[in-house]
Amino acid sequence: MQASEDNYRERLGEARLLLIFTPELVLEGDPLERLRLLIPHVDVIQVRPKPVASEQSAQLAADPPAEARATHDWTEQVLELVASAEPDGEARPLIMVNDRVDVAMALRGRGCAGVHLGQSDLPASEARALLGEDALIGLSTHDMRDVAMTLDQPIDYLGYGPVFASTTKGYSEARGPETAWVASEAVGLPVFPIGGITPANATELKSVGRAAVSSALLSAADPVKAALTLRAALGA
C-alpha cells in the first residue's frame, strides 16, 4: 500500500528526479517492465499516456473519454506495479496523473498522490476544491510570467521549461538552465526543470537539484545507468 497522504508533501520536498511516464516513448519491450527497473531510481512518476505523433494527439483531443480511460488504465497498472515493488513504504515513488483531475479523484484511494496540470487545463483552484487539501497539485510553467502568476495558486510544485531544446512536445526555444534556478528562487515550492534534459547536460541543473525527464530514461539503451547518471549530475 502507498504510504499515507500525511507525508506526500514531505516526500515531494525531498524528490529530485521526476519521470514522466509516456509508454509510447519506450521504443523496445514492455513499458511496464522498463518502469519496474526505474522504480528504485525515481522519486515521482507522472503518468502521461499521450501519443507523441500530432495526428494521434489531435484524435485524443477530440475524444476526451478515450484519453481519460487510457490515463486511468495506465495509472492503475503503475500503482499496482509500484505497490508490488521493493523496497516498501516511503522509498517508493509518488504517483501523479497528468491533466486528468477526474482520474486522480477516481484513484485517490488506490494511492494516486495528485495531478499535474498544464496552463490550459482545469484551474488549480478548481482542482484543489475537487481533490481536497491533501492531494498534490503541480503546474507547468514556461516563463517567468507564468511563474509569477502561480504565487497565489493552491499548488505544491512547478514544472518549468523547456530548459533545453526538446522534441518530445514540439519545443524548440530553450529557456536555459539558469532561468530554472531563477524560477526556483522566486517561489517557495519545488521546481522541476523539464525539456531536453539528458545525462550529458543535467550537470547544468545542479544548482536547482531537480529534473523532470521522459525520453532520457524511457528511450535509453540502459535506463538504470541513465537514471543513476542523472541523479549524480543533480547531486542527488
pLDDT in tens, 92-139: 899 999 999 999 999 999 999 999 999 999 999 999 999 999 999 999
47 contacts 15 by C-beta, under 8 angstroms: no
Q: With H, G, I as helix, E, B as strand and everything else as coil, classify residue 138.
A: strand
Parent domain of 92: 5-234
Q: pLDDT over 70 for what percent of the chain?
A: 86
Domain count, the chain: 1
Residue 29: is its pLDDT beyond 70? yes
Residue 174: is its pLDDT beyond 50? yes
Residue 67: per-residue pLDDT: 86
Cell numbers describing residue 230: 542523472
182, with CB counted inside 10 A (0-12, 13-18, 19+), is: middle
Beta pairing, strands 114-117 & 211-213: unpaired
The span from the CA of 55 to the CA of 61, in Å, is 10
Locate cell 487510457: which residue?
A: 70
156 contacts 12 by C-beta, under 8 angstroms: yes
The span from the CA of 48 to the CA of 64, in Å, is 14
Domain at 53, CATH number: 3.20.20.70
Residue 65: per-residue pLDDT: 67
Q: What is the reported pTM?
A: 0.90
Q: φ, ψ for residue 26 (rounded to 5)?
A: -80, 110
Q: With H, G, I as helix, E, B as strand and everything else as coil, classify residue 21.
A: strand
Residue 56: per-residue pLDDT: 44
